Structure 1
Amino acid sequence: MNEITSVEQYHEVIMNENAIILFTANWCPDCMVIKPFMPSIVEKYNEYNFYTINRDQLMDLCVELEIFGIPSFVAFKGGQEVGRFVNKERKTRQQIEEFIESLA
């Protein structure tokens, strides 16, 4: 997964790609729980490009998008948000895959 490090890069990605963005932070224990299995999810759902955004580096964007819990996922197609899995709970592999499959 590539990291988005600027608001400009975020806008470019969502306008030009089918993207799923994972909002995360280095200090987040729930983010570390999903880290080991995310590469296989990225491989399985290759119709999407996956990106990460470090919540602490782009806090204003997270506030604008109402991302208050991490890890959280937001999906985009053609510049439009098509789904989100945003809450303050620990996420399981099954829940993440169900979210992605619900986008179809």
Structure 2
Amino acid sequence: MNRPIQKRWLSMNKVKSVAEYREAVGGDKPTVVVFKTEWCKDCHYINPFMPDLVASYAQRLDFIEVDRDELPELCEENHVLGIPSFIVFQRAQEQGRFVSKLRKTREEIEAFLDETLTKAAQGEGER
């Protein structure tokens, strides 16, 4: 899952099917699933800082993108109503989530990722 990060963040890691999603979240390395859409203004708000954020966590986390309009069943399955939303999985088990209808800042996203990594290291991820 160590794919190169392109200028348009996550473009190579955009999930195109439910099967591809299941494979991505089933691995040993924690995977951050970013639920978003092309038309979402709050999703565009995070675009400028996401390449650096993804790069800074690349050793510890994989990142994939799920377009809510292309794979609505995954949003329903994961109870994602607001976008952008972030859910971390490891071995197909949810480890943490940052899901809300509110705009997210870089600092909030980093705090969520750090907290989730700390819990996972201590064996306290959501089960």
Into which bin does the TM-score normalised by the smaller protein fall?
over 0.9
The one-letter code of the counterpart of 1:30 is D
2:38 to 12, 16, 26: 26
1:77 to 90, 93, 98: 90
1:89 is the counterpart of 2:102: yes
1:8 is the counterpart of 2:49: no
Q: How many residues align?
A: 104
Distance in 1, matches of 2:34 and 2:79, equals: 14
Q: Which runs of 4+ in 1 moved over 4 A?
A: none
1:36 to 30, 48, 52: 48
Q: TM-score, normalised by structure 1?
A: 0.97
The one-letter code of the counterpart of 1:87 is S
Deviation of 1:18 after TM superposition, in Å, equals 1.6
Structure 1 residues 4-44: Cα deviation after superposition (integer angstroms, max 9, x where no partner): 11100111011114200100000000000001100101011
Partner residue, 1:102: 115
**Unmatched segments (≥5 aa) in structure 2:** 1-9, 119-127
**Unmatched segments (≥5 aa) in structure 1:** none
The two structures, once aligned, show a CA RMSD in angstroms of 0.8
Distance in 1, matches of 2:30 and 2:15, equals: 15
Deviation of 1:64 after TM superposition, in Å, equals 1.2
The one-letter code of the counterpart of 2:110 is E
From the CA coordinates, give the structure whose radius of gyration is larger.
2
Q: Looking at secondary structure, tell me which structure has more strand per residue.
A: 1
Distance in 2, matches of 1:64 and 1:79, equals: 13
Distance in 2, matches of 1:64 and 1:50, equals: 19
